[in-house]
Amino acid sequence: MTAGEFGQAVRRWRERATPEAAGLPAGGRRRAPGLRREELALLAGISVEYVTRLEQGRAAHPSAQVVEALGRALRLSAAERAHLFRLAGLAPPGPQTVPAFITPSVQRMLDRLAGTPVAVYDASWTLLLANPPYAALMGDPSGWRGHERNSVWRHFLGGGGRVRHTPESLAAFEEALVADLRATADRYPADQRLRRLVAELRAGSARFAGLWDSGAVGHHASGRKTILHPQVGPLTLDCDVLTVAGSDLRIMVYTAEPGSEDAERLALVTVLGTQSFAG
């Protein structure tokens, strides 16, 4: 397969997709049907210039992460996604790798939660998709690349995030997070990306290495979290982690008690969005 064939497929599927189906506003009159390149770039988390180079056949060998992101942004079916991987010269992810495919039905469910902070992670806690309210609450992830998109890596090696812990809750959180990752590694022993992630974490964090070597296996569960927002201040929210049967995806949803002060602050965060602050 050539870079030109890959680019032609991306452009064909981009022109087929509608803004409404992708969860975007139609935005008035359009010169051509389908998504604009800027919209596809936004949805896939890559630059407009790179989308242009891909479509024009001037960028060869896109990474598996880029192909996966394009497939999600274009709402491709499982068969179309596999074809896009082959056009890129890559083997489609198999049953021995951590699943990263968001089915159209799950995507439609996420679209109905457009006003609620929602993120989708794979079984290794790598961020696959975050809606605008989630980005506003937790920080805009659109510029994150590689292991930066992994919550375990960000916690132990990347400076953490906006969630605040007591010493006791931090210890319990870290134990559960590492145990969950270890359980995933046991289920997908042939996943090379996951093995590289674990190796980097063990080499870079003594705390992670100690927890990993303890051999604990478990799951990161739902609970209440306090998030320190840079403009709104602290919010204590319910964080529910839902799993999708058959795909090993984790859907993280943040909500507040209706009528509470936290609910008012969460609504303000959603209105503010991400445009007025850096992180």
Which domains are assigned to the chain? 3-87 (1.10.260.40), 104-272 (3.30.450.180)
Task: Kindly report, residue by residue over 186-206, the tens digit of the pLDDT.
Answer: 999 999 999 999 999 999 999
The confidence score (pLDDT) of residue 122 equals: 94
Across 11-20, 228-237, 265-274, the highest mean pLDDT is recorded for 228-237
pTM of the model: 0.81
Instruction: Say if residue 237's pLDDT is above 90.
Output: yes
At residue 274 the predicted structure's pLDDT band, cuts being 50, 70 and 90, is low
- Measured between alpha carbons, how far is 98 from 185 in angstroms, rounded to an integer? 9
Instruction: Say if residue 259's pLDDT is above 90.
Output: yes
